[in-house]
Each structure stands twice: as structure tokens, then as C-alpha cells.
Amino acid sequence: MSNNSFVSGSVSGESGGVPDVLPEFVTVRPSDGERENRAPDGRTSGVSIQGTPPSNTVPSNDKNKHFKALRFGIDSLYVSYYGQLAEDWDKKLFGLKEKAQSDDEKEQALAQVTIGSHLFEVRDKGMPRFPYVLLDNCFFIKVNRGKSSKLPMAHIQISSEYLAAVGVESAVQDLDFIIIINTLGLVHGSATISRADLFLDFTCVDDLYAIRQPDWVTRANLMAMYFDCRLDDPFTGWVIGIGGDVHARLYEKVVEIKTKSRKTWLFPLWEANGWQGDEKVWRMEFQIEKEFLKQVLIFSLSNFLEFQAELWRYLTHDWLRLTIPSLTDKKRDRWPNHPLWDDIANVYLSPIDQPRLKRFRPERLPPDERIFIHGLGGLTSFMAREGIEDFCEGVGEFLHQATKYHKHSAGGLCGYVQRKVKAKSRKYNTINNRQNFVGDIQERDRKARDYRRVKEDE
């Protein structure tokens, strides 16, 4: 690839390593899915979290016309709590899991538990080594009943939407109340980080499809270029370092939202920082696993937040770079950064406003499209079958025949609808189907008193 391929622009010098501000950080050795960054002559460049002092160069205003950072920070966060699940909670969750496994929809609807302000669904199945699973739109909680000191009592994924609404510190404080203050069990210490994803969402004028494999200088062994043949512009991104303790993804986020994640709540956050709505948004994301964090002596959330910028710098200077290959210099570690990569690497030098979601609900609500388009499928099929075109007539006849169809079932049509509403409210975390149970009322009152006591102490 020639020097003017990918995108035209000035050539910047190669950036150095992560700033020497983390004396406890050690040299990072290649792990699974990584390799030493070898030059063509076979020598290794050596990777250390300590390195060349950071550049103070901030992209110029003129350059920023070609690159715009929309959001950056922590997108996904997985934390663990070590300790022993309390016996009463073990019995309670076991009973709720049995209800979730029942063939009776009424029993299934009762597989819920309220902790603090959260109404969790209790799943009918656990996950490997974690027999209990609780979830709402904030947390996906896996609970272990065993006594192994190596396995956490609880492993939790905090949803990216919740992080975007309240921030990392508030989300973990909420989680501490659920796991520690609510005495789910005897907890040893605070939350430890199991995985974190650092990300940057941005727009640019660059043609990212023009990137070729030799342009990447990386410690990773494996990389893949991705396409979606359903699209007019099928290139969707790169994955680098698959299977390693660190791996990177550069992909078109709007396509991912529309075809997979449905995280449309990101759109207003981007718009607040200048997204026009018809621009491609690229996400540069690094998935950092527990083993790598242990190597650089990051265990607690406070450590991770403190050194977040330094981690980004290491990842974008030492672990991975997008370069302009040189036709005259075979030492890859001397190849200059592509100007776009300098913009990506320097985002923490140019702070931007990070707007919060103005509306967030802990319930897992179905989208309007599913309700008001797919949900009308049965009615429109019925009307077509009966040859009815008038909507009001169709609704009336639909209810009439539905009543006849369900007249022999328990409670008739109304009973059927009530059972389905309770089942779906458990799934969506919207209605507490246990709110009239005497035992649950007493427990709820006790927890409310405990919560008020904690707040008064604060």
C-alpha cells in the first residue's frame, strides 16, 4: 500500500508507549491470541506499559473537521464479588428457580425477586457453575451457591445502557447495595473487575475499507475483516486478537445497531455531540479480560478508573497501531501512524461532553415495533381470513370469536389474558406478581427499613 492510500493527509510520526505514570505496571508478555511485535529482522520491540512520554499534541481544529469523537469511555463492565451465599438466599433462589421451571404459568409468573429498587426475573436455568440467574435492564447477575474460594459468589454484567444513564460509579454503588448491603451473602472485599470494554465512537472522512492487513502493527496473531453481503456497502469492520486476553474491534456501529443490538438509545447521545444522523459511526473498542488486568496489577474499579486513559494509550500505542507502511523501511515498529490513528489514540487529550441518557428504565421493555407492528399480525391475519376490512368491525369480531375459543379454558378469555400478562410482566420486570404475598410484604417492609437506615448513615 502506498503512502497516499486509505486517505490523504499529513504523515504523523510514530507515537511512543504509555506514559510512565504507573510504576507498579509490569512488562506485558504476549498471551493467547497475541505475539511479540517482531520487526522483519526478527528482533522484538518489547512491550511495556512504561515507555515514551506522552505526546502533548492535540489535533488541530482543521483536522477535527475530518474526525469527530462522539463518545468514549467504558461500554461494558463485568464485575465479581467473592464470598459465601447466605443459606436463606440459597433456599429462596432455589424455590424461585423451581417455580420458573413449573409447567403452570401462574407458578412461572412468581419467579421474581425484589432487591432494593430492582424487580428481577429469576431464570428457570442457571449457567455453568452458577445455578441462579437474576436479571433486569440494569444487571445480569449469576449467583454461585458453592464454597470455592476461587469461584466468585456473584458475577455480574452491568448493561451498557445503564452505564450510559448513570455512570460507572453510580452503577457499582447500586450493585453494592444489591450484593453487599442487602446481605446476599458474606462478601469478602469490594467488587473486582472481570472484564471491561474501552470504546470510542467517532465519525471521519476516511475510507476504512481501504485498510489492508499490513497496515496494522499489532501484538496480536489473528485478525479478520468482516462484511455483510446484505448491505450495499458490505464492509463492516475488523476484529484483531481473537481469543486473546485483549482483543480489538473496529466496526460500523449504526449497522450493528440496526441489524443486531437495537441500541437506538445511542443516537441522541451522538446527536448531542454533532452526529448528523446520516453519517457512518465507527466504534474502536478494546475488550480487556481479567488476566490482562492482573498482569498490569489492576483489580479494583477505582484502579481501573484511575488508569483508564493510560490503558487506552498503551492499547493504541504499543498493542495496536494503524500505520502508513514504508516502502523503504522494513522495521515495522518505525512506520508512522496514520493521521486517523493519532486522532483515535489522543481522544483522552481532548475531553468532550459525555451526555447521560435522559430516560432510562430498569425494565426490559419490548420495542414499539414489536408491539404495534408484529403485535397486530394476529388481528390482521384474522381480518383477512374473515374478509373484514373495517378495523373496528375486525376488532369486535376478533374479541367475539376469541371469547368463544377460550370459553372452556380456566377463567375464559380474561383468565388467559391475565396469565399471559403476568408471564410477560415477569419477563419485562414491570409488575411484581408477588406483591400481595404476606411473606413478601413483611420482607419488603424490613428491607425498606434497612435501606432508610443505610441512607441516614450516609
Tens of pLDDT, residue by residue over 157-211, are 999 999 999 999 999 999 999 999 877 989 988 899 999 999 999 999 999 999 9
Q: Strand (E) positions, 144-222?
A: 154-158, 185-204, 216-218
Cβ-count burial of 110 within 10 angstroms (0-12 exposed, 13-18 middle, 19+ buried)?
Answer: buried
pTM of the full structure: 0.81
What is the CB neighbour count within 10 angstroms for residue 370? 10
**DSSP annotation of 239:** E
pLDDT, mean of residues 295-302: 89
- Alpha carbons 321 and 33: distance in angstroms, whole number: 17
Tens of pLDDT, residue by residue over 364-382, are 999 998 999 999 999 999 9
- Alpha carbons 181 and 173: distance in angstroms, whole number: 10
If we measure between CA atoms, which residue out of 140, 3, 16 comes closest to residue 80?
Answer: 140
**DSSP annotation of 337:** B
- Alpha carbons 317 and 312: distance in angstroms, whole number: 8
- What 3-state DSSP class applies to 262? coil
- Among the ranges given (183-197, 244-258, 415-429), the one the predictor scored with the smallest mean pLDDT: 183-197
Mean pLDDT (the chain, rounded): 85
- What 3-state DSSP class applies to 253? helix
Residue 439: predicted pLDDT: 61
- What 3-state DSSP class applies to 25? coil
- What does the domain layout of the chain look like in residue ranges? 76-195, 368-457
If we measure between CA atoms, which residue out of 40, 66, 61, 37 comes closest to residue 317?
Answer: 37
Phi, psi of 68 (to 5 degrees): -140, 120
Distance (Å) of CA 38 to CA 3, 145, 240, 330: 22, 46, 17, 11
- Alpha carbons 177 and 190: distance in angstroms, whole number: 11
Tens of pLDDT, residue by residue over 374-410, are 999 999 999 999 999 999 999 999 999 999 999 998 9
Phi, psi of 218 (to 5 degrees): -150, 160
- What 3-state DSSP class applies to 282? strand
Q: Which residue has the higher pLDDT, 370 or 23?
A: 370
Tens of pLDDT, residue by residue over 34-68, are 444 433 333 333 333 443 334 434 444 444 568 99
**DSSP annotation of 387:** T
CB 30 within 8 A of CB 210: no
Question: Does residue 19 carry a pLDDT above 80?
Answer: no
What are the start-end ranges of the H helices in 276-376?
Answer: 290-295, 301-306, 308-314, 339-345, 368-372
Looking at the DSSP bridge assignments, the partners of residue 379 are: none
